[in-house]
A and B are shown apart, each in its own frame.
Chain A
Amino acid sequence: MPKNSISNQENSAAFEFKSSIITVPVIHLFNGDSTLFSQQLHDKVNQAPSFFKNSSVLIDLQDVEEQIIDLDALVKIIQTASLLVIGIRSGSKEQQQMAKDLSLPIFDKHSEGLAPSNEKKPEEILTPEVTPLRNPAACENLLITQPVRSGQRIYAKGDIIITAPVSPGAELLAEGNIHIYNVLRGRALAGVLGDESALIFCSNLQAELISIAGNYRISEDIDDTLRNSPVQIHLDQHALIIKNI
């Protein structure tokens, strides 16, 4: 019965508007020079071609508002790098007019997402209070001879050297290396600012968590053969390597 089917189609909605938040890579342009841009973009894309392939991007013009840029050329360069421009953000009036001529949407300066009305508050980042046992300014490295108790947190701009036990629930954070000539039962985070060459040494590994430059391993994932024994820990291509010493 064709008549019926037509009326059914008429009743059913063909589409609906919904707001949705997606994450888009943004190219923050610092320099309007298109040859420089072309070269650097291709270098970047060549590092991970499959990652960038057909990815949509937004061009942020906030830093080049004062400059004269050739938006048309930039868009073409981006297209040849197999990226798709889905719009611009900020920009001077002239730049925004150029975007309109290219039928590119213009996003508001302050909106971070595609749904400015639903703007989410940025998640609050907790920055825990750090109470160094001794004044780290006096010495880059920190020597601790008293037990580090549960709930205590020690931060050193250099290395941390400890001759007493580190209790479960205690946290050691060092921008450099961590040496523990005793039991480590708490957490030890070396190279907290990203130093991948940082090392952790301890004479008895019972740690809750170990981490070097953000690459961490929890207690559960530490091999039983390495527990309760003296170890050296280093980072090898984002993998924590624990070695008996």
Chain B
Amino acid sequence: MSTLVYINSSNGIGKAALEVVSYAKKLGNDVVVVANGNADEASLASLGEYGASKVMVDRSVEGDSQQVTRMIASAAEATGASTVIFSHDLTAKSVAPRLSVRMKAGLVSGAVAVPEGNTVKVNVFSGKAFGHVKINTDKKIISLLPNSIQPEGGGSACSVEDFASNAGDSSIKVLETKKPEGEIPLPEAELVVSAGRGLKGPENWGMVEELASELGAATACSRPVADIGWRPHHEHVGQTGVAIRPNLYIAAGISGAIQHLAGVNGSKVIVVVNTDAEAPFFKAADYGIVGDAFEVLPRLTEAVKKFKSSN
């Protein structure tokens, strides 16, 4: 019996890839990785350190969901794997459901823990509760919420094989890819500094960016701020924006409406800065500062600078 792990290596091997391989290892069976994308052989082989026994790579397969689905299905057939693991990212959201239908395998998405028997714990109601979902089929697909388990290394590199999956042509044609340079993509960021309407205007975001750059954090915002155009749309977190689970979320001038919390309540530690001691966000916070963001943020930036220079 083996467990198949899918990895898109187009952007190299990131932390999410190490998480899914470590997760698969915990299921107890032999772990085989099937990958597309152009990561080099050494970084693919390094997945062995986290528990993979081999990596099968088909570099001819691009990002199209139909193609990737066919590739994984043929790898599952070749290895006899009955369980497939994804990281619950954008590719998984387009591929895992297709694969579920193709393999007639029950799919659980957004897993936050290792299964107990056939039951997997997931995030539901936008992070306000957990559900325990039972998979009633022999074949199973699980997509793991990023930042849910710690990668566990310590093994040794594994073999990397070329895999001709005969996945067919891509049904989509990519015309253009735009990536803002040098920014940390919000969903991957471990530290996030976020601000809301309390900052009064886009001209005041300098202090948010300075704190973020001092910490090496990404920046985010509440919905109204993106809607009025003070900040770009991709920074909007919450129910209708991006859901994030960083280690640290610093929120300044955000009231903490339930729809905002829905996107950030998976954060490990929340710091709230608000002039209003009654702001609902304090109920969800670990550390609270009742104060004016215009004074507190620059002071915090200075404190971080001081801390960094003495450590």
A complexed with B: no
Q: Which residues of A contact B (CB under 8 A)?
A: none
